[in-house]
Amino acid sequence: MASSAHNPFVIMRFDSLREIEASMQAEVRKFGHIGLETVPRRSTLSDANARRSSTFSEMAIVTFTSKTRQPFPRTAEEIRQRIG
């Protein structure tokens, strides 16, 4: 199994929407490929949280962690097998 030092995914814990907004603002240049040109305001994040059920967050976390707990593929063949 790959060591965590080689894992490019970092799960960060945020205590407030202010922290999320500040982190996103610091990295906004990296979001262009997903169509995000500006960082959403805290009020927008808050509204989204209020409207979204906790089931959504639970499913997203379960899906993400189930995929990232696997060792990273080392060959092109391993990559093809995973994306199937």
Cα distance between residue 9 and residue 48, in whole Å: 24
Q: Please give the structure tokens belonging to residue 40.
A: 């959403």
Q: Which residue segment(s) compose the domain that 26 sits in?
A: 4-83
Q: Vertex 40, ends 37 and 41: CA angle to 5°?
A: 140
Contacts of residue 7, defined as CB under 8 A and 6 or more positions apart, other chains included, come to 68, 72
pTM: 0.46
Q: What is the Cβ-side half-sphere exposure of residue 21, based on CA atoms within 13 angstroms? A: 10
pLDDT in tens, 9-31: 555 677 888 888 888 888 888 87
pLDDT in tens, 59-75: 877 777 776 666 666 78
Number of structural domains the chain divides into: 1
